[in-house]
Amino acid sequence: MSRSSKPIRIGVDIGGTFTDLQILDARSGAIVSHKVATTPADPSIGLMGGLAEAAARFGFALDDVGYLLHGTTIATNAVLERKFPSGALVATAGFEDVLEIARHARREVYSVRPRPFPVLIPRDRRIGVAERISGSGAVETALTPAALDALAARIAALGVETVAVALLNAYANPVHEEAIAAHLATALPAVQVSVSSAISPEIREYERSSTTVLNALLMPVVKAYLERLARRMDDARFAPRLLIVQSNGRVCTPETAAREPVRLLLSGPSGGALAALHLSRALGEPALVGVDMGGTSYDVSVVRDDRIDLVNQGEIDRMPVRVPMIEIRTIGAGGGSIARVDAGRRLCVGPESAGARPGPVCYGHGGTEPTVTDANLVLGRLDPAFFLGGRMRLDAAAARAAIEARVARPLGLATDAAAAGILTMTNANLAAAIRLSLFEKGLDPRDFALLSFGGAGSLHALEVAEELGMRKVIFPVDASTLSAWGILHSDLGHDVARSRLLAAAPASLPALAAMAADLVAQGGARLAADGIAAADRTFAVSADLRYRGQAFELTVPWSFTHPDQAALDRLVADFHAAHRQRFSYANPDDAVEIVTLRLAAIGHLAPPERHAADRRVEASHAATRPVWTGGGWCDVPVLRRAALAPGISHVGPAIVEEDYTTALIVPGWNVAAEGDGHLVARRTGGTTSPSRS
């Protein structure tokens, strides 16, 4: 049986605290979820353990798995924690300090001592080489064999594991970068090399150099992880087709991931954005804000008009990354976010996280600093005996003691009030992240529904929605593992680009046609190497345009059979419209320039063969527990999600529990199961005064 015809497809999202699995069995149409603790020292241990547990729990054999689609934070964590091998940067002589010069944009405008931008390669490992390519691509100073030999000797003396090569104007002509890579492959075969013309062949030297350096430093990290995972899979005789999730929401082969690991920096969160897009279509919600709150972070993605936006440049820890990625705003706010009182007696929550180990105090793994999860437990919003479906018991007394010692006493508050303050501050931070994601696009939160997922998100969603004036919140099926569900629907893809400054005028059409043909050939070759048949390939072209003299561009989709005058006129008109929508004005009489042509080469995987699976409604049982809501304690009904009959609404306050997440329905809202079992909460227009216990 071929791997593509095997009935089981698994999506995996390895987060900072938990590893989430979504398992699709095409034989029954059922999609089930499983969750295990992440093993930060080696995430492949937790992944393989989780797969073994899921196979035993749901009755399938590992040999039945055809696809394993894997989202990971391995690259992100390496950058944030600076866990890099030693590396060097090769630049055109005289341009070794581009990383240090950076951009003259001052973000901390009121700071007497603003923080410098991070520089990952120290000065003594930045090597200048005598060569020069002009902006037109012409060779002005040739790269000599003697210069290549001297460069190899210098790198050998440094003893580095990886090298980034970012030469001036290499995007216009990569001949010198390719020569350096070939020479080092022969002279120093153990050293890994990343060249800017392969990873980010675009204008703007600082951004291109930063991206190439990050890619080079991540290559040994990601390669080592994938090799460990491959060994564990071999030991378990587990041989699905392994594909790795990229920041653009598509997957790639392990070979591509090892060669271009900088494309994995939003690997996990992009699955949540994909899930939001699919549910927007399924639920008929064209304006949807997806929020994923796990143990470490809070990720915000916006679905509008049947699309999620991609950006061609992102940022990680104030360092630019110039590769396409789904537009996601991430803040350090999750269940494991640490609450503390600073020297000015001010309560702060996050962005530091307790992670998986030691985790929140209530986990009993040695944590001493109170977290958001501890506050939710102390206020009755979590059942200590039913965390992870009862597989993990929480220590409420330890959580209360930590909040009392670290927050309540320093602030002179009662413990319950201190815990409530932690949640109030957390909700304010979450709402601010959504506001920024919408306001910067000129959008109003009141026009959007909120899709809440992630293990911690459902406890905060309605209070956040109230602060934003939103009237509808959706709690999807398997909300805690929804990012893994989104990963199940990924296609394989590559992004290729070429920068060349051209006037958006008829004289540029021959050059544009040649560039488009070259990009299609590149994309087709990569998909062919991945084993994607020609009938399963799609190519999407876009262009970066700007008004002449602008220092920034807008990316505009460009659909054409052949880039003729009519196609060019449509592109320019679409640019004016996009500029007006984004900046409230357009200048149709101004000259327009095309800066970069882009191609997304998409290889369509066999779609998940899912059909409607029966969802049995469990018998309900009457239960209440004291919960702090609305400013005080009250007895609140506790409902099992599987016991909610479709169409019957329940008025807040209430708690809705399922194995991997808990939803808090606050006064003034009601909730009902709709559609395929998704819970939908709506504002009732007023607030209900809970009875005090």
How does pLDDT run across 192-243, given as a tens digit for each residue? 999 999 999 999 999 999 999 999 999 999 999 999 999 999 999 999 999 9
Evaluate if residue 5 carries a pLDDT over 80: no
The answer to whether residues 188 and 115 belong to one domain is yes
| 34 assigned to some structural domain | yes
Q: What is the pLDDT of residue 267?
A: 87
Residues 661/664/669/670 CA torsion (nearest 10 deg):
50
Q: Which of 264, 296, 321 is where one domain is finished?
A: 264
User: For the chain, how long is the longest CA-to-CA vector?
Assistant: 84
Q: How far is CA 360 from CA 331, 332, 347, 375, in A?
A: 18, 15, 18, 10
Average pLDDT over residues 156-163: 97
Any alpha helices (H) in 339-395, and if so which ranges? Answer: 372-378
Percentage of the chain modeled with pLDDT above 90: 74
The answer to whether residues 36 and 91 belong to one domain is no
The answer to whether residues 33 and 134 belong to one domain is no
CA atoms of 381 and 378, how far apart (whole Å): 8
The answer to whether residues 212 and 89 belong to one domain is yes
Give the pLDDT confidence of 83-110 residue by residue, as tens digits: 899 999 999 999 999 999 988 777 777 8
| 583 assigned to some structural domain | yes
Strand 654-657 versus strand 632-640 pairing type: parallel
Q: What is the pLDDT of residue 616?
A: 54
| 451 assigned to some structural domain | no
The answer to whether residues 91 and 218 belong to one domain is yes
The answer to whether residues 149 and 87 belong to one domain is yes
The answer to whether residues 107 and 218 belong to one domain is yes
Evaluate if residue 687 carries a pLDDT over 50: no
Average pLDDT over residues 548-570: 92
Which residue is associated with the tokens 């939103």? Answer: 470
The answer to whether residues 238 and 128 belong to one domain is no
Which residue is associated with the tokens 């920068």? Answer: 499
21 and 478 in contact (C-beta within 8 Å)?
A: no
CA atoms of 635 and 359, how far apart (whole Å): 29
Evaluate if residue 291 carries a pLDDT over 70: yes
* DSSP letter (8 states) at residue 392: B
Give the pLDDT confidence of 502-535 residue by residue, as tens digits: 999 999 999 999 999 999 999 999 999 999 999 9
Evaluate if residue 451 carries a pLDDT over 60: yes
| 433 assigned to some structural domain | no
Tell me, what CATH number does 52's domain have? 3.30.420.40
| 157 assigned to some structural domain | yes
| 474 assigned to some structural domain | no
* DSSP letter (8 states) at residue 521: H
Specify the higher pLDDT residue, 648 or 447.
447
The answer to whether residues 44 and 112 belong to one domain is no
CA atoms of 326 and 270, how far apart (whole Å): 6
Evaluate if residue 664 carries a pLDDT over 90: yes
Q: How far is CA 234 from CA 1, 69, 71, in A?
A: 18, 17, 20
**Token representation of residue 556:** 């505009």
Residues 6+ apart with CB under 8 A from 41: none
Domain count, the chain: 4
Residue 165 is part of which domain span?
Answer: 83-222
Could you tell me the pLDDT band of residue 615, with boundaries at 50, 70 and 90? low
Give the other-Cβ count within 10 Å of 518's Cβ.
14
CA 39: distance to chain centroid?
A: 19
Strands laid side by side in the 632-640 sheet = 624-629, 632-640, 654-657, 662-665
Q: Which of 232, 264, 296 is where one domain is finished?
A: 264
Q: Which of 171, 191, 222 is where one domain is finished?
A: 222
**Token representation of residue 178:** 């390719």
Evaluate if residue 614 carries a pLDDT over 60: no
Specify the higher pLDDT residue, 490 or 80.
490
74 and 226 in contact (C-beta within 8 Å)?
A: no
544 and 562 in contact (C-beta within 8 Å)?
A: no
Evaluate if residue 655 carries a pLDDT over 60: yes
Evaluate if residue 611 carries a pLDDT over 60: no
Q: Which of 76-80, 457-461, 555-559 has the lowest mean pLDDT?
A: 76-80
The answer to whether residues 210 and 237 belong to one domain is no
| 387 assigned to some structural domain | no
Burial of 232 by CB count in 10 Å (0-12 exposed, 13-18 middle, 19+ buried)? middle
Residues 6+ apart with CB under 8 A from 455: 17, 18, 35, 293, 294, 295, 335, 480, 660, 661
Q: How far is CA 85 from CA 122, 385, 387, in A?
A: 13, 43, 38
Average pLDDT over residues 2-15: 83
Tell me, what CATH number does 566's domain have? 3.30.1490
With residue 144 as reference, give the H or E element that holds it: none
The answer to whether residues 129 and 248 belong to one domain is no
The answer to whether residues 250 and 172 belong to one domain is no
Q: What is the pLDDT of residue 4?
A: 60
Give the pLDDT confidence of 417-441 residue by residue, as tens digits: 999 999 999 999 999 999 999 988 8
| 252 assigned to some structural domain | yes
**DSSP-derived 3-state class of residue 575:** helix
**Cα separation of the two ends of the chain:** 62
Give the pLDDT confidence of 50-69 residue by residue, as tens digits: 999 999 999 999 999 999 99
At 633, which amino acid appears? Answer: W
Average pLDDT over residues 122-130: 96
pLDDT, mean over the chain:
91
